[in-house]
Structures are given as structure tokens and as C-alpha cells.
Copies of this chain bind each other. A is one copy, B any other.
């Protein structure tokens, strides 16, 4: 049997850097290597110009202005910067809002949920909105939770595990009626579907370069009107970069790569979305036909075009993956503090522990071909039969 090249279907975890992105980055390692803060010489100015250009490209993709983009190390940092930056040391006597409620959802990434939980332990009133069977936040529930004492609503654009797209604009309208700031963790949406800060009507938005074929270690925080327009306290202080909100020598190659990735995504978006949705639908049809009683999580909701979360009945997904060395997939569980726990997202959707442990996440991407989908289903069926037999 010839060696098979393993098929990567874990694009929601991270993506390979597009070769065109790497090409754009290359001159900024050893040729144009200046520190953009050093405007007094050529190296510094060339680096600053590259950062400016990238900032425009990144802003363009989400319908923002360049001065509204703060470069961070990634969406985790951006999310924390919002939640901590708006609430920082409210007990210290610094002028802050008297509002003490934070509203978020049960299906957020841990980089939103954990800082919210920390605030809860520190005395903040944190409301975690439930979701329905398909992972969608109920707008009526949100309407009830968001009040004049609410400082911030943080809601994701799309879920990383199931792909469910949230009614962000509807919830933003509710929030704004109470003068509440709206943050959107769009790490899984930017580059996969159209994301426009005006259409979403959000004040703050997070994204990561490595989810859209850009480099790891770079991300953005969008701040409506620019970072000085909101009472955001920086996490770090230092050399004043990024309008003082995120100091430290700018990661020029990372920023340039992120800019290029955004420019490529903007061109590719509508067609690529349709292509991936077609492959995803084919994948799900094949899976349902070949694996007895297989169920798809979130199938009734608006979803990302590339994500499929499938419950293999009476199966341990980890065991399934061990029998699939030629497929790279995600699962519905995670190792938390040493113990394997079913995903909090699936639990919030009412998926049983057993079903969550049997859940496999397939996320397609730019290099996924129709053959890959057919092969993947064949391999999954084979592994499922093997694992199930041994059950």
C-alpha cells in the first residue's frame, strides 16, 4: 500500500500560511528589518510604511478604518484586552463606569469565558446566556439580560466547534439601546464569511491572522473610532506603540503577513465560501449515508461554510482519531486541568456527555479538494466500524 499524504481537516484550529503570504513577509526578516518606531532612518521608515499598508489591508477586510485597528499577538490577547481593559482596577479609585454587569454566551471561546469568570470572582455581575440545540443564542434571552447596568456584551461571530453563526447585529441593537458596548470575537468568522463591523454594529472585534492563512502570533483588535475613543486600559505599558494600547516593538513580518492574508481573503471570499459549503454539504451527506445514526450538530442553524461537527454514535472520538493516522481532525472534548472533559460548547447545546465524547469536528479550508472529502468519509467509516466493533 502506498504511503498516503495525511489530509488536514482541522482548519478551525489553525491554517497553513498561504505561500503568497510567506512571500510577502520574507523581505521583512533580514532586508527591511527596521523598528518602525525609529523614524529617523531609512530602515525604520520602510518598516513603518509596511505596517501602515498592512493596517489598511486588514481594516479593509472588516470594513474598518486603519486607525481603528490595534495589532495584538492574536484574538486571545484581543479578547482579554477588551474584557480586562474596560474593567481594570475599577476598585482602585480611577474613574470608571458604574456599570457592573457583563453579558456573554455559554459558547464563547475560553479566551472570553475565562476572563469573564475571573471578573465574576472579583464581584462583577456576569451573565452567561444559554444557547439552543443548534448553538444559537436566544435574542429574547439577551434582551432580558442586557440592562442599564451592563457595561459590555461579548458575543462571538461564529463558533469554533460547531460553526454556528450568532445574531450579533440583533443583540448589538439591543445593547446599544442601553448604551452598552458590544464586543465580537470574530476569530472563526473573519476570512470565512463576510465580516463587516458596520453591518455587525459592534464597537470592538477580535481576530487572529493564523485562522485565515496568515502567520501565528499576530491578531487584531478593532476599536470603533480608534483606541482613544473608548475607556480601554492597556494590559501592558511601554513604548507607546499601537496608540499606547499594545506597546512593544511591532512584529513587522507578522503584520505584513496578516495584511496580505486579509487582502487574499477579501478577493477569495464569496467564491471560496460557496465552494467550501458545497464540499461540507457533500461531506455531511456522505457521512450520514455511510455511518449509521450519525448526527450533525447545529445543522439547522446558520453556519460557517467550512465546519461540520458530527456525532459518531457509541464511539469514542479519541479512539476513532487514533485509527485515523491519515486524517487530521478535531474532537468534541478537551483536556482541561489533566482530565478529559466534553466540550463546553456541546454541553451548552444540550448534547449529552456521551455524544460529545463521540463528536468529531471536520473543518475544511483553502487546500481541501473534492477527493479529500470522499477519502475522508471512507476512512472515517472504516475507522468507525473498527472502533465500534471493539466497543
A125-172 residues at the B interface, CB under 8 angstroms: none
Q: Mark A32-47, 1 if CB is under 8 A from B, else 0.
A: 0111011011111000
Q: Once the chains are docked, how many angstroms separate the CA of A93 from the CA of B120?
A: 13
A73 within 8 A of B: yes
A97-111 residues at the B interface, CB under 8 angstroms: 109-111
Closest CB-CB distance, A270 to chain B, in whole Å? 25
User: Chain B contacts of A109 at CB under 8 A?
Assistant: 238-239
Q: Which of A9-17, A291-299, A373-381 contacts B (4 or more CB under 8 A)?
A: A9-17
Check if B238 sits within 8 Å of A76, measured CB to CB. Answer: yes
Closest CB-CB distance, A113 to chain B, in whole Å? 9
A326-347 residues at the B interface, CB under 8 angstroms: 327-331, 336
User: Chain B contacts of A248 at CB under 8 A?
Assistant: 73-77, 111
A53 within 8 A of B: no
Specify the chain B residue showing the minimal Cβ separation from A88.
B89
User: Chain B contacts of A325 at CB under 8 A?
Assistant: 42
User: Chain B contacts of A121 at CB under 8 A?
Assistant: 94
Q: Mark A193-214, 1 if CB is under 8 A from B, else 0.
A: 0000000000000001010000
Closest CB-CB distance, A27 to chain B, in whole Å? 11
Instruction: Name the one of B33, B79, B329 contacting A41, with C-beta atoms under 8 angstroms.
Output: B329
Closest CB-CB distance, A239 to chain B, in whole Å? 6
Q: Once the chains are docked, how many angstroms separate the CA of A250 from the CA of B215?
A: 11
Specify the chain B residue showing the minimal Cβ separation from A92.
B122
Closest CB-CB distance, A288 to chain B, in whole Å? 24
Q: Mark A309-333, 1 if CB is under 8 A from B, else 0.
A: 0000000001001100101111100
A63 within 8 A of B: no
- What are 28 of the A-B contact pairs (CB < 8 Å)? A10-B43, A13-B34, A13-B35, A13-B44, A17-B30, A17-B33, A22-B30, A29-B215, A40-B331, A41-B327, A73-B217, A76-B239, A76-B248, A77-B236, A79-B238, A89-B89, A93-B122, A109-B239, A110-B238, A110-B239, A111-B237, A210-B249, A216-B251, A216-B252, A216-B253, A217-B218, A217-B251, A217-B253
Minimum-distance CB pairs A-B, first 5: A217-B251, A111-B238, A114-B237, A76-B248, A80-B236
> Contacts A74-B249, A114-B238 given; 18 further ones with Cβ under 8 A?
A10-B35, A10-B44, A13-B37, A14-B34, A17-B33, A29-B215, A73-B251, A77-B236, A80-B235, A80-B238, A89-B122, A94-B121, A110-B239, A110-B240, A215-B253, A217-B251, A217-B253, A254-B254
Q: Give chain A's interface residues, CB within 8 Å of chain B.
A: 6, 8, 10, 13-19, 21-22, 26, 29-31, 33-35, 37-38, 40-44, 73-77, 79-80, 84, 89, 91-94, 109-111, 114-115, 117-118, 121-123, 208, 210, 215-218, 235-240, 247-254, 318, 321-322, 325, 327-331, 336
